[in-house]
Structure 1
Amino acid sequence: MELEAMNSREDWPDETEEAKTESPPKTCCDKIHETISNWILPTNQRDTYLERANCLPPPIFIISVSIAELAVFIYYAVWMPQKQWITLDTGVWNSPFIYRPDKREEAWRFISYMMVHAGVQHIIGNLALQLLLGIPLELVHKGHRIGLVYLAGVIGGSLASSVFDSGLALVGASGGVYALIGGYFMNVLVNFKDMIPLFGIFRILVIITIVGTDVGFALYRRYISHETGQKVSFVAHFAGGLAGMSIGYTVFSCFDKNLIKDPRFWICIAAYAAFVIFAVLFNIFLSPAP
């Protein structure tokens, strides 16, 4: 009997070895990355992300852009003689940042308009969206990819506005924000089967609600509202969203691959470049704007 007991004990697993193979407890940073991966990535990509997840570099691009936009808004709302908290007026209209059709030869305005916003509601909406979505996206895809998508939306937004709404000025970072939303939306849509169905439906409904509300408010302000101040274009919303649904989707769908080797990326870049060239030529030779 004793011999049988000893033999049975030899078959028992070594408790010290079990202790060695136990995974270390999850840190707060690990839990954050796990939550982010659930929101941003489909199931088949989460393990790859979690194996290499870290907070270095931090989401510098989206935070820096947000701070700069907030600083410019505070400058025009607090320190300028024409303090403008609510709407676009003389001070912002004369800003070197705003895109104006009569100043379109100053090429930097096609990008710098993202720094200026038409009131406190405008800046709060854009900052909230780009921080809530942009920080998780940048932690996964890193700043150079987020910057590419964001700026593609900003430039595409101003060029589209100069072509399709050529008589109006343009302010705000909506082009860049909608590029992030468009890229994220396409990834949720394409990878819907790899996500928890109800969770995927919830995300799509949230995106549609936010975009519908924001675009509805922009259309109201453009065509219905009789508030004083200058009217601004809303075309950048749509153009930024299209940039995100093409370039953004390609960038966000291959976070663990070399983007340069993805033929989809070059197809999107070629289409985007063709639009940019057309818009530039339109502004030089065909634009009815002064």
Structure 2
Amino acid sequence: MFGLIGIVVIFVMVFGGYLAAGGKLGIIMKSLPFEMMMIGGAAVGAFLISNDLRAIKHTTKDIGKVFKGPKWKPGDYRDLLCLLFELIRLARANPVAVEEHIETPQDSSIFSKYPKILTDKEAVNLICDTMRAASMNYDDPHQVEEVLEKRIEANLHHALHSSHALQTVADGLPALGIVAAVLGVIKTMGSIDQPPEILGKMIGGALVGTFLGVFLAYGLVAPFATKVKAVVEEDGHFYQLIREVLVANLYAHPTNMCIEVGRQNTPSHHRPSFSELEDALKATKQEAA
């Protein structure tokens, strides 16, 4: 929602201010299709050169995050804590019984209670792989903790590629705008024998290229890159929460303490209150009974 509002504000303030100052859109509108073809086309071409097909698809998909915002909402963090509570409690009561849930989570009666989490392969794999490692009786929990940390870092690095790709395009757009402007000047110099009113319009059209490159870079593409990065990092807290709870479990802390560690490490604007989580855990116990 705020993404759309921001775009509207940008266009209204920039072009509204231009018109209020007495500017005319005629020159801009006449030159815009050609300048956009040169600048936008070159930017897309450079993007295709610098990324493989998988990265291109990933970036195109991630642009939607500017408007959708973070994937994980406060209720999802509460559900995650309840899911981990059930799995840890079952693993400690009956280590054999938990195996069917972590080996085939798609058929698990526990995971099926939380369909949104179940659809996220990375979250499910992170939980199942770590629970499986815990069942192997590692002598040093630091081993699993280090593996988890590196895995989460690698996933975050990969997820941030879209932001880096968009920022690279933003960095190049002003220069591409200059290229388009220089071409416009070259065209103008070829018509130097024309009267001043015609040359003025041609020079104005050439300057549209510089304007468009800077406007697209700092008004649209760079903010998109920043927003994608912010959303990816925000969603990364969800996986960090899994790590915190399961590492606490590796150190054999009481189940409720493991969940409280996770609650305390949940971002404040997503963190369920103690009483809210306690009620959710009580409901979970009653369902399991």
TM superposition score normalised by structure 1: 0.27
Task: Pick the structure with more helix per residue.
Answer: 2
TM superposition score normalised by structure 2: 0.27
Greater radius of gyration (CA):
2
